A and B are shown apart, each in its own frame.
Chain A
């Protein structure tokens, strides 16, 4: 056993996986199948972000039947329902235990450095030297909060979607929700139900119905192959990787969640938040176009589904095609809001998340700090990513999306180890053991 300068234990291992969420656990499963000696380093507990960094009422957007992992498939009696946080966290922990995933919990990686054709992974609880490394830390590590947040008057309570848990954290009075993804709309719905007057500042968003022609929207997207769409089938991958999550909620009553349902309940819609000057929030005048685009794209999705039904001769078995009411907007949405005078006591930033690679000291980030990778194969030998939005295909950041990605990424990783390793190192690839 070696120790480093500060006395920490140095362990040599073929592969390190950082992160024990669905992506890291699925990768670990595949590496075990391939006999790759590895560890999974987790800063907190298994499924840490799900457990500790999301709001209380969160449920998955995808139905239970879609919660598939390598070697796991839902077999309960409510496949069409949506898992809540506790159910998902329990599932991922059991999954890790059953597979005997070599997870080191409470092990925060503070630095990753290139070392002799491999990597040195440093944490307070020791150091690992490895030939290959999988970044399964996800894309949602820190909230992205616009710079104009600094100009919000100090008496207003500000919360990010990562800090928000439930309505009890809010001051009484109005709330401005910035962002119109699944997060923004779910929080708007919850806070409206809790009696707050809600204003939603909306930029580009993705609208889709929960149910269409008798099935869940994800059933259709899966059937039509939309979730399997690969990188090669998309003409602007940078754009689709940045798309906000669709305006959906997983609930026990299959509730529809869109601007129309929220404004019917009294919410006010304004354009994208552009600036805050002297306590006055200024919104973009582009709201009509933004909503028009989302309506057009939703209808294009529904047409794709209708065409698929027609092609597969299922027309007679299905409820008829329908189109939903376009987003209702006032002729002149408000362009500014005096945060002091108009009784806004809370601002919630549902403005997305960014990955945190501050610990990754390998030159694989571009000038904007984004990881450079081709379908999860990072631009450094033996370095891989998992679980990023549209990493290899549309579903890559969905729970069940990690299946194909984990198999392919670990396949590439094993080929890399074989091609780059000496005979002795290749000996680290143990014969496949049965782990079921």
Chain B
């Protein structure tokens, strides 16, 4: 039996994150980020969005490449299906945020992950967006996420990691809590 202490490696640089946490506690100005995207209409419900620059750590920042995303509606809506629907991008955002969080929290707790899969499903009554019933909201009535996780940890520890990931998740907060949105026309 090996008696050395195993160090988990999930590919997350938690030392960097903890260092950043300490540095930004001292200099909260650097913690102010602005995330951005641009969206161009292509045709019909098809649009093309780009994500490249953002602001943070007191300066303009760039992704290493410009990321492009096509959004459209599927054929059942008589559209061209050139990309995922915007509401599916929301699911992608939530699932990827929580999955990244699971990796980071597991790393911090020295838990080795072998596989993580999140399956996410949202319920939507499209009577809302079609304006059929004013009592039905446009957005999701509810979202369910199922995690399948293979890791060197007890079921309770895995539950605690998933719970902590939700607690620290930006997208979870964005969806679960109200956010002010202002729209202007130039």
Q: Are B159 and A282 in contact (CB under 8 A)?
A: no
Q: Are A289 and B141 in contact (CB under 8 A)?
A: no
**Which B10-29 residues have a C-beta within 8 angstroms of A?**
28
**Which A260-299 residues have a C-beta within 8 angstroms of B?**
271, 274-275, 277, 282, 284-286, 289, 292-293, 296, 299
Q: Are A274 and B177 in contact (CB under 8 A)?
A: yes
| A434 within 8 A of partner (CB) | no
**A300, B173: Cα distance in complex, Å:** 26
Q: Are A293 and B142 in contact (CB under 8 A)?
A: no
Query: B49-57, B83-91, B160-168: which one contacts chain A?
Result: B160-168
**Which A170-226 residues have a C-beta within 8 angstroms of B?**
204
| B172 within 8 A of partner (CB) | yes
| B44 within 8 A of partner (CB) | no
Known contacts A296-B156, A299-B156, A332-B142; A285/B177 CB under 8 A: yes
Q: Are A286 and B166 in contact (CB under 8 A)?
A: yes
Q: Are B178 and A275 in contact (CB under 8 A)?
A: yes
Q: How many whole Å from A329's CB to the nearest CB in chain B? A: 13
Tell which of B28, B163, B172, B178 touches A282, judged by Cβ atoms closer than 8 Å: B178
Q: Are A285 and B175 in contact (CB under 8 A)?
A: yes
**A201, B167: Cα distance in complex, Å:** 17
Q: Are A284 and B159 in contact (CB under 8 A)?
A: no
Q: Are A284 and B176 in contact (CB under 8 A)?
A: yes
Chain A residues contacting B176 (CB-CB under 8 Å) are: 271, 284-286
Tell which of A286, A296, A300, A332 touches B141, judged by Cβ atoms closer than 8 Å: A332
Q: Are A274 and B156 in contact (CB under 8 A)?
A: no
Chain A residues contacting B175 (CB-CB under 8 Å) are: 285
Known contacts A293-B167, A332-B141, A332-B142; A286/B172 CB under 8 A: yes
Chain B residues contacting A284 (CB-CB under 8 Å) are: 176-177
Q: How many whole Å from B174's CB to the nearest CB in chain A? A: 11
Residue on B nearest A285 in the bound complex, by CB: B176
Interface 1/0s, chain B 143-163, versus A by CB < 8 A? 000000000000010011001
Q: How many whole Å from B23's CB to the nearest CB in chain A? A: 15
Residue on B nearest A287 in the bound complex, by CB: B176
Chain B residues contacting A285 (CB-CB under 8 Å) are: 175-177
Residue on A nearest B173 in the bound complex, by CB: A286
Q: Are B178 and A292 in contact (CB under 8 A)?
A: no
Q: Are A274 and B166 in contact (CB under 8 A)?
A: no
**A292, B158: Cα distance in complex, Å:** 12
**A286, B142: Cα distance in complex, Å:** 12
**A275, B177: Cα distance in complex, Å:** 9
Chain B residues contacting A296 (CB-CB under 8 Å) are: 156, 159-160, 163
**Which A64-107 residues have a C-beta within 8 angstroms of B?**
none
Interface 1/0s, chain A 295-307, versus B by CB < 8 A? 0100110000000
Q: Are A289 and B177 in contact (CB under 8 A)?
A: no
Tell which of B141, B142, B163 touches A292, judged by Cβ atoms closer than 8 Å: B163
Residue with the greatest number of chain B CB neighbours at <10 A, chosen from A274, A286, A332 = A286
Interface 1/0s, chain A 389-430, versus B by CB < 8 A? 000000000000000000000000000000000000000000
Q: Are B163 and A289 in contact (CB under 8 A)?
A: yes
Q: How many whole Å from B164's CB to the nearest CB in chain A? A: 8
Chain B residues contacting A292 (CB-CB under 8 Å) are: 159, 163
Residue with the greatest number of chain A CB neighbours at <10 A, chosen from B160, B167, B176, B178 = B176
Chain A residues contacting B142 (CB-CB under 8 Å) are: 331-332
Residue on B nearest A272 in the bound complex, by CB: B177
Residue on A nearest B18 in the bound complex, by CB: A235
Chain A residues contacting B156 (CB-CB under 8 Å) are: 296, 299-300
**A299, B173: Cα distance in complex, Å:** 26
Q: How many whole Å from B145's CB to the nearest CB in chain A? A: 11
Q: How many whole Å from A272's CB to the nearest CB in chain B? A: 8
Chain B residues contacting A275 (CB-CB under 8 Å) are: 178
**A285, B163: Cα distance in complex, Å:** 14
Other 8 A-B pairs with CB < 8 A, given A284-B176, A286-B166, A296-B163: A204-B167, A285-B175, A285-B176, A286-B173, A289-B166, A292-B163, A296-B156, A331-B142
Q: Which residues on A are within 8 Å of B, measured CB to CB?
A: 204, 271, 274-275, 277, 282, 284-286, 289, 292-293, 296, 299-300, 331-332, 367
What are the nearest 8 A-B pairs in CB distance? A285-B176, A289-B166, A293-B163, A286-B176, A274-B177, A275-B178, A284-B177, A284-B176
Q: List 15 A-B contacts (CB under 8 A).
A: A275-B178, A277-B178, A282-B177, A286-B172, A286-B173, A286-B176, A286-B177, A289-B163, A293-B160, A293-B167, A296-B156, A296-B160, A296-B163, A300-B156, A332-B141
